[in-house]
Structure 1
Amino acid sequence: MPDQRGSRQNTTFPSAGRTAHGYLARPPQGVGPGLVVVQEWWGLTSHIATMADRFAAEGFTVLAPDLFGGETTHDRAEAARLKRDLPVERAAEDLSGAVDHLLSLDGVVGDAVGVVGFCMGGGLALLLAARAGDRVAAVVPFYGLPPDPDFDYRGLTAHVLGHFGELDGSIPETAVDEAAIRIGEATDVRPEFHFYPAGHAFMNDEDLLGTHDPLQARTAWRRTLSFLWGHLG
């Protein structure tokens, strides 16, 4: 079913000759590192906007691109369709445009940003980091990997922190281990991957899958903030 509240858009930015939309959240002090937050397959929902607000409250200028062009859903079949219909190249363009836009904003410090992605967005976060090179200094995928197990990580220079659920049937530990090996073989990066006694989407407090785990979410949150500040601060 469509999300009647709709997409949480509040800003626009240029993307490959088009106008892309997203959600922008600024830190209270008005100055801080840039951070791209990449949505789940549900769209740019209130959960993603809330995550952007939380990161902003911690001192980051956050942009969450709307990769589905305004569509959101709470229905798994519809979410799968939206993900399937999303051209990867268009998503990559919008994410790259989000990086450029953040780096152009007054108050964004540094010449590189961080990227955090959830589920589908976790894989896209790694894709963005591999394509953006030194424009991305830190990337944090939550329970997400590129769909192609042979994904080419050679452009990746960012530090990598990943969070995965031991009970997540969609991303087995063997797939995470293989991704870590591929990253290590293709780059000088040694990813830091953590496994939690939780299922998929354990950070999502809207709990659409019934797998939200507040305790594991708090642990992953603390690790993420420490990691981002360590490489962007």
Structure 2
Amino acid sequence: MTRLTLSTCCMALTLAAASTSAIAELQTKTVEYQVDGTSFTGYLAWDDEFTGKRPGVLVVHEWWGHNEFARNQAERLAGEGYTAFALDMYGSGTLADHPDDAQKFMQAASSDMDVVRARFMAAKTLLQQHETVDASKIAAQGYCFGGAVVLNMARLGVDLDGVVSFHGALGSPIKAEAGKVIPRVQVYTGGADKMVPSEQVAALAREMQDASVDLTLVSFPGVLHSFTNPGADKVAEEFGMPIGYDAAAAERSWNGTMAFYREIFAD
């Protein structure tokens, strides 16, 4: 079991603003925090154009680690009126630029589900404590590895309003149980994704149906893994990976997610 150091706020999150910037009304802050003695680096984004408390959204990175793509997603969410926190599941400075390293980092981070949950919950608490956030309205979205993380948090019964998986792994040793899954679930996957074959997609649909989970699953025909990431084509060419960006699928999945959030966060 991973132990999370406690404080008067129920967990010790040592916040150190490494950098703060303001672009027009967009506010961003790099945040260092501690979980069980390990340092992590996340990224908060919110827009001062929106007033009052607002829902918060956690962003869980791809298998590469906490990178610019994850931060960009947080900024996009801020532009939509949410406060977003692009969390770190690997540890400060752990970032891959080769698939072999990404695989190693992902396997290490996924090997103990208690650790995964502790790291996710630390980030959730940090987001909920931000002055702009309505702590009762929290969702999580993840990409690739991050998609698997948010689905597993739903399976484990974490209190969230919704989770969204973009080209995430759908299989898991953890299975959803009726009455345990709290959030509504959306999944966007590529119909030609060799990393998430049709058997996984079908198995997830059966699993969630058997557990009476509110699931929306969208499969884009002919679309490859990593379809939301504009950098996927370069990676595919460099390493010969079966991945690729798809602008239409990226836009449709984003628009669907924004509609989902408007619905689940409606007063």
Q: Structure 1 length as normaliser, TM-score?
A: 0.87
Alpha-carbon distance in 1 for matches of 2:210, 2:171: 19
Identity %: 24
Point out 4+ residue stretches in structure 1 off by more than 6 angstroms.
Answer: none
Correspondence for 1:116 = 141
1:41 aligns with 2:63: yes
Correspondence for 1:199 = 224
Runs of at least 5 residues in structure 2 that lack an aligned partner in the other structure: 1-27, 237-242
Residues 40 and 90 of structure 2 are in contact (CA less than 8 Å); yes or no, is this contact kept in structure 1?
no
Runs of at least 5 residues in structure 1 that lack an aligned partner in the other structure: 1-7
Which deviates the most, 43-52 or 65-74?
Answer: 65-74
Correspondence for 2:30 = 10
Deviation at 1:182, TM superposition (A): 0.8
SS of corresponding position for 1:26 = strand
1:1-233 aligned within 5 A: 10-13=30-33, 15=35, 20-28=40-48, 29=50, 31-69=53-91, 70-86=93-109, 87-88=111-112, 89-133=114-158, 135-148=159-172, 150-154=173-177, 155-186=180-211, 188-197=212-221, 198-207=223-232, 208-209=235-236, 211-233=244-266
SS of corresponding position for 2:161 = strand
Deviation at 1:170, TM superposition (A): 0.9
CA RMSD of aligned residues (A): 2.1
- Considering fraction of residues, name the structure with more helix: 1
Which deviates the most, 9-18 or 20-29?
Answer: 9-18
Structure 1 residues 180 and 169: CA distance shift in structure 2, 3 A: same
Quick one: higher RCO (CA 8 Å, sep 6+), 1 or 2? 1
Which deviates the most, 13-22 or 65-74?
Answer: 13-22
Structure 1 residues 124 and 9: CA distance shift in structure 2, 3 A: farther
Alpha-carbon distance in 2 for matches of 1:211, 1:47: 15
Alpha-carbon distance in 2 for matches of 1:19, 1:71: 10
Deviation at 1:147, TM superposition (A): 4.4
Deviations 1:125-172 (A, max 9, x none): 011223343x20100011113542x42212311111110001101111
Residues 14 and 101 of structure 1 are in contact (CA less than 8 Å); yes or no, is this contact kept in structure 2?
no
Aligned residues: 223
Deviations 1:196-217 (A, max 9, x none): 1310000011223350011111
Deviations 1:173-225 (A, max 9, x none): 22112112112212x32311001131000001122335001111111110011
Deviation at 1:84, TM superposition (A): 1.5
Point out the structure with max Rg over C-alpha: 2
Alpha-carbon distance in 2 for matches of 1:143, 1:11: 27
Alpha-carbon distance in 1 for matches of 2:231, 2:157: 31
- Report the residue type matching 1:92 in the other structure: R
Structure 1 residues 49 and 136: CA distance shift in structure 2, 3 A: same
Deviation at 1:117, TM superposition (A): 0.4
Alpha-carbon distance in 2 for matches of 1:110, 1:79: 32
Q: Structure 2 length as normaliser, TM-score?
A: 0.77
- Report the residue type matching 2:83 in the other structure: T
Alpha-carbon distance in 2 for matches of 1:116, 1:68: 17
Residues 180 and 190 of structure 1 are in contact (CA less than 8 Å); yes or no, is this contact kept in structure 2?
no
Which deviates the most, 115-124 or 105-114?
Answer: 105-114
